[in-house]
Amino acid sequence: MESRYYDAKNVFIDSIEIDDYIALDSSVISYKQLQHSIEKPLKMILVFGRPGTGKSILLNYLYENLKYQKDIHYFATPTTNEEEFFHKIFKVITKKDLPANTRVNFSTLVDYCRDMQGKREIVVLLDEAQMYSAEMMERIRLLSDSRSIKFIIALHKTDQEDLIAKEHFQSRIWEVIELRNGTLEDTQNYIHKKLLKKNLFEIANSIKSYHIGLIYKFTKGNYRETNKILFTIFEIYEYYDLHHKSKIDEHSFSKKIIEMAAIKLGFIHV
């Protein structure tokens, strides 16, 4: 027998699928800014923010919306092997695979890109770019200087260092879009919209402002952390629904279960 909370739990599986994109005021602004930036004669655009602020889903949403309108390509997984990366770039540019065991001559690749200037504009979305080495980023910068490939680079901002200040980004990024954690209102809209999108109206209506405030206290508006705590909350609900149904109220959201989820995830230490 499947619990009524099974679907609610799965709503909050962390994903970058386009169906999981939630249009909040802040995310719509970032999307429009990024879309507008692509139309400018920029070589490199930086999208950065802390993990869980929505960088990957923003890039994926942009790619899915523009893939039939523009020559746009999404590198979701970093390719830290330089030769493999340039094989992928070669395929993007030529629309052909290189024969096995063939090396890319980087100077020839740059010259090929320069020859395309004014004839074709390729947009490449590079996710998790903090994984690329400084040497790789320098090669990417040289490709972008050809003005036939525009790179949109998404990377993490960390407590230890501001990645914008790294040498290989200085003076090379022409536009910066910073994503931040959501506000309390963003968190409420995010949770309710995700549930309503799956027609889980009764469960959405049971989550009141007080509950959102408690969840926000733990997650600070980080969407990944919000997904984790909501998934865990509904996982606990699912367990009780299947094994101890009398211990939960189906019509009222439980502060106790929110706190149980927070303990399980380490937001509360006991």
Q: What is residue 167's predicted lDDT score, i.e. its pLDDT?
A: 53
**Greatest Cα pair distance in the chain:** 72
Order of strands across the sheet that contains 175-178: 71-75, 122-126, 149-156, 44-49, 175-178
Mean pLDDT of the chain: 89
pLDDT cut 90: percent of the chain above it = 56
Whole-angstrom distance, CA of residue 21 vs CA of residue 73: 19
Q: Which residues contact 149 (CB under 8 A, 6 or more apart)?
A: 89, 93, 113, 121, 122, 123, 124, 143
Whether the CB-CB separation of 110 and 143 falls below 8 Å is answered with yes
**Residue predicted with more confidence, 138 or 58:** 58
> Looking at this protein, which amino acid is placed at residue 127?
D
78-85: long-range contacts, CB 8 A cutoff, minimum separation 24:
78/126, 78/127, 78/128, 78/129, 78/131, 78/132, 80/131, 80/132, 80/133, 80/136, 82/135, 82/136, 82/139, 85/136
Q: What is residue 169's predicted lDDT score, i.e. its pLDDT?
A: 56
pLDDT digits (tens, 9 = 90+) for 157-200: 765 445 544 555 555 667 889 999 999 999 999 999 999 999 99
SS3 154: strand
- Count of C-beta atoms within a 10 Å radius of residue 248: 18
Provide mean pLDDT across the span 74-89. 88
**Residue predicted with more confidence, 200 or 155:** 200
pLDDT digits (tens, 9 = 90+) for 240-259: 999 999 889 888 999 999 99
